[in-house]
Amino acid sequence: MLKQQRAKLVVGNWKMHGRLAANAALLQAVVQGSDEMPADVRVGVCVPSPYLAQTQLLLEGSRVAWGVQDVSAFTHGAYTGEVAAPMVVDFGATFAIVGHSERRAYHRESAELVAVKTQRALEAGLTPIVCVGETLEEREAGSTERVVGAQLDEVLAKLSVQEAARLVVAYEPVWAIGTGKSASSEQAQAVHAFLRARLAAKGAAVADVPLLYGGSVKPENAEELFRQSDIDGGLIGGASLKDQDFLAICKAAAATSVAG
């Protein structure tokens, strides 16, 4: 099969990590390193919301985009502790992760809630990074496609073709997150091809949305994953907190990009 011509995207998900001083060092290093990336490799970081102002200050004018790890399903109102998508936009953010498995599991977010959050993010002008993924039990029961298909369908059902074309989708098998045990490139590619077909069924304009793989991506396995025809980059947890590792993963994306 001919290699697809989509650009690469590597996004760090810092999760609940970071302090001002450490963030500054990490962001400065990422900015410097990203200057060497070819134009068809996009780099982003999704930081804890309290650090959005700092992130904007340090990344504005650089090649690195930024965003958050969740948004509220509401635009404003009496929702103590929530952060609304328009607030995030005030700080120059472009990405919002929605439906991360940690939020689905620990905060009991339903597929329906994830779909509404995706709508709020789109309305505010953000690019939602919609996460889907199966647990180990679900994989072993042969339910991977049923589970990730249902998670994606719930989101797609609420969107027009034009809206769906603005998504990024991340396949993050729950059993691979933070475990050091990545999906093999064959396992990941198989699910990505399935998700690609599902997206294409929504409309031709949706077929090319970036499909990221997440789950124990490291400098050692990134290039092989990114070489797969339906893997357009990565959503990086632990390794995004170490500048050298994160930049090495970005370099792997560059090596597999069209211009790289």
- What is the contact surface with ligand 13P in residues (CB under 6 A)? 13, 100, 172, 177-178, 214-217, 235-239
**C-beta separation of 43 from 30 below 8 A:** yes
Helix, strand and coil percent figures for the chain, each rounded to 5: 45, 15, 40
- Give burial (CB, 10 Å; 0-12/13-18/19+) of 61: exposed
Smallest gap from residue 8 Cβ to ligand 13P (A) = 16
Distance, in Å, from the CA atom of 257 to the CA atom of 235, rounded to the nearest integer, reads 16
Among candidate residues 76, 100, 112, 186, the one labeled active-site is 100
Smallest gap from residue 227 Cβ to ligand 13P (A) = 18
- Cβ distance to ligand 13P smaller for residue 154 or 172: 172
- Cβ distance to ligand 13P smaller for residue 47 or 217: 217
- Cβ distance to ligand 13P smaller for residue 91 or 213: 213
Q: Pseudo-torsion of CA 173, 70, 15, 62, nearest 10°? A: 110
Extended beta strands in the chain, E state: 8-13, 41-46, 64-68, 95-98, 127-132, 168-171, 211-214, 233-236
- Active-site annotation holds for 107: no
- Cβ distance to ligand 13P smaller for residue 75 or 94: 94
Establish whether 14 is an annotated binding residue: yes
Establish whether 133 is an annotated binding residue: no
Establish whether 15 is an annotated binding residue: yes
Among candidate residues 140, 172, 192, 223, the one labeled active-site is 172
**Residue ranges of the binding site for substrate:** 13-15, 178, 216, 237-238
Which of the residues are catalytic? Answer: 100, 172
